[in-house]
Amino acid sequence: MPPRIALGVHRALSPTSRVQFRVRRCASTSAASPEIYDVVCVGGGPAGLSLLAGLRASGATQGLKVALIEGQDLEKNRLPKDATLDSFSNRCSSLTPASVKNLQEIGAWSHANLSRIQPYQEMQVWDGVTDARISFDWDSARPLLSPRKPSQPTTIAYMIENANTTTTLLSRLEELGGVDMFLATKVDSIDLGTDTERVDLSSWPVLTLSNGKSLAARLLVGADGANSPVRTFAGIASRGFDYDRHGVVASLKLEGEGWGGPDHKIAYQRFLPSGPIAMLPLPGNMATLVWSTTPDRAAKLKSLPPNDFIAMVNAGFRLSPTDLDYLHTMPSGQEEEIAWREKHTPFKKHDIPMRVAHVQQGTVASFPLRMRHADTYTGERVALVGDAAHTIHPLAGQGLNQGQGDAAALVRTITHAVQTGQDIGSILALESYNSERYAENNAMLGVCDKLHRLYSVGSGPLVGIRSLGLRAVDAMGPLKGFFMSRAAGGV
C-alpha cells in the first residue's frame, strides 16, 4: 500500500504561496461535517463521464450517491449546436469497436452526433525510409482461401471529435440524472477525514471545493488527467519519460473524399525517423492530422503560413526523410521548393492520402508526447482511470480507448462489490479492477513505446530488419488479424 499522510496533515493541491490561506479556511470548514458520497469522481473527461454513466445506467449501482467535480465549465466543451460539416475540432480520437460497444451498453451511443463521426475500414502504414508497407483491413486479415464471414466487422475504428464524445456522455448523464455535478468548481484540497464519536472517517478522503462545500468519498476516483491531484493525494507514483516529441494536430480539407469513396475510408500513417505522421479520415473531404515530430520542428510547422504548412503536410507523406530535413531548415518558401522536389520523387498516389487543399483556420496546434504509468491504479478509497493512470504515445490511437476500458472495468468491479456487500472503497474490493486493467494497459504502453523506438532509427541494419518484418506480417492474414483484433480492443 502506498504511504498515506497521517491524519490531520494538510495536503495542498495549490501552489505553496496559497497554502497558508487554504489551511486556515480548511480548518474552519472541516468543523462542519462533510456530505457523504459513495463515489466522487474528479475530472469530467471521457473516462470520468463514462464511469459515471456506467454507474447510473446499471441497476446494481443506481443506488450509489455519486458526484462529479470538474474544474472547467463542461458546457463550453460541448459540440457547438451550429457546427457545420466543413469545420472540425482539432482534438479528435479514434474509438475502437470495443469502446463503441461499451458506449452502446451504457446507453450513450444513441446520443452521439453520428454525422460527425467517421468510421474507417482500412489502414495503410508504411516505413518512410524503405517504403515497406502493411495494410490493414478485415478482408485481408483472414486465412488464405477461406471466405470472408458475413458477420465479420468491416470497421477498424471510428474517428470522433473529443467534444462529440464529451457531449454524448453528458447528454446520457443528463438523461439518467442523479449525479451531483460540481462544474467549473475546483478541488482546493483533499484531506483524510476525522474520527468523531459517531463515525470514523479517518480513512475517507474529504474534498474541499472552491465553492466552500466539503465532500467525503467512500471511493474517490481520479479521472483528473496526467497530473492527477488525486493520484498525488493517494501517494501513488507515476513513472515514465517525455519522448522529446510533440504531436502537431490540424483539421484539414482534402481534395476529395478519399480513394475508397465515402463508404471505404482509409487511415494513413507513415513512420518517419522524427516520428509518425498520420492522416485520419473525417466525414466528407475533412481529415485530421497528427504529426509526431521534434519540438523545434513542431514549432517551425506551427509558424508557417497556411500555404507552406499545407505543402509540408503533403510532403510529409511523399518526400524522403532527407528532403524533409532540409525543408524544415528553410526560413520560408516551402511551397515552391516542395512543388519542385515532388516532380522528382516517384510515388503511387493511391497509396497515400489525397492532397491537402485547405487548413482550417486556428486548428494548427501541438502537445508534448509522454509515456507515464502509475505504480498502481488503486489505493485505500482511491481508484485511478484514464490519463491519471497512464499516458501513451498516440501512434496507435489507444489513449482514449484505454480510459474507456478502465471506466467499464471499474463499473464491473464496483457492481460486484455492491452485490456482495463489500465496501466499494476497500483495497480488497478494488483489487480486481487493478489486476484486470494494469497488465493490459502495460502491454499496450509497451508495444506503442517499442514501435516508436523501432521507427526512430533512420539508417542501419535495423531498418532492413523492420521492413522485412512488416512485409512478412502483411503477407500473413491470420497474424495480421490477431494484431487488428488487439488494436480493436479485443472485439
Q: Which residues bind another protein (CB under 8 A)?
A: 36, 63, 195, 198-204, 216, 218, 416, 418-423
Return the number of the residue (59 or 261) whose C-beta is nearest another protein: 59
C-beta neighbour count of 435 within 10 angstroms: 14
For residues 142 and 90, the answer to whether their CB atoms sit within 8 Å is no
Instruction: Supply the Cα-derived Rg of the chain in whole angstroms.
Output: 24
**CA atoms of 87 and 61, how far apart (whole Å):** 39
> CB-wise, 422 or 456, nearer to another protein?
422
Q: Which is nearer to another protein, 7 or 468 (CB)?
A: 7
Shortest distance (Å) from residue 468 CB to another protein = 41
47: its cell numbers? 473516462
The least CB distance from residue 417 to another protein, in Å, is: 8
Q: What is the rounded distance in angstroms from the CA atom of residue 286 to the CA atom of residue 253? A: 4
Using alpha carbons, select from 108, 208, 203 the residue that is nearest to residue 160: 108
Helices (H), 139-199: 162-176
Query: Nine-digit cell at 334?
Result: 516551402
Instruction: Please say which residue, 198 or 344, places its beta carbon nearer to another protein.
Output: 198
* Cβ–Cβ < 8 Å for 182, 148: no
Cell numbers representing residue 393 in the block: 504515445
Nearer to another protein, 91 or 416 (CB): 416
Cβ closest to another protein, residue 20 vs residue 202: 202
Dump strand ranges (E) for 315-453: 356-359, 365-374, 378-379, 382-384, 390-391
Q: Which is nearer to another protein, 355 or 416 (CB)?
A: 416
State in angstroms the smallest separation of the CB of 218 from another protein.
Answer: 8
Contact 54, 179 (CB under 8 A): no
* Smallest distance from another protein to CB 490, Å: 22
C-beta of 426: minimal distance to another protein in Å?
10
By C-beta, is 1 or 465 nearer to another protein? Answer: 1
Q: The C-alpha cell of 354 is what?
A: 489525397
Q: CA 354, 357, 362, 367 torsion: positive or negative?
A: positive
Is the CB of residue 488 less than 8 Å from the CB of residue 98?
yes
> Cα dihedral sign for 235, 239, 244, 248?
negative
Residues 281, 256 contacting (CB under 8 angstroms): no
The CA-atom distances, in angstroms, between 375 and each of 223, 398, 434, 491 are 16, 20, 10, 28
Distance CA 407, CA 47 (A): 6
Residue number with CB closer to another protein (135 or 426)? 426
Task: Say whether 135 sits in a helix, a strand or coil.
Answer: strand
Helix, strand, coil percentages for the chain (3-state, nearest 5): 40, 25, 35
From the CB of 222, what's the least distance to another protein, in Å? 21
User: CB of 461: closest distance to another protein in angstroms?
Assistant: 43
Helix (H) or strand (E) holding 277: strand 275-281
What's the min distance (Å) between Cβ of 33 and another protein?
10
- The residue among 67 and 223 lying less far from another protein, judged by its C-beta, is 67
Q: For residues 198 and 343, which CB has a smaller minimum distance to another protein in the complex?
A: 198
Beta carbon of residue 36, minimum distance to another protein (angstroms, whole number)? 5
Task: State the minimum distance, in angstroms, from the CB of residue 200 to another protein.
Answer: 4
Least distance from another protein to the Cβ atom of residue 63, Å: 5
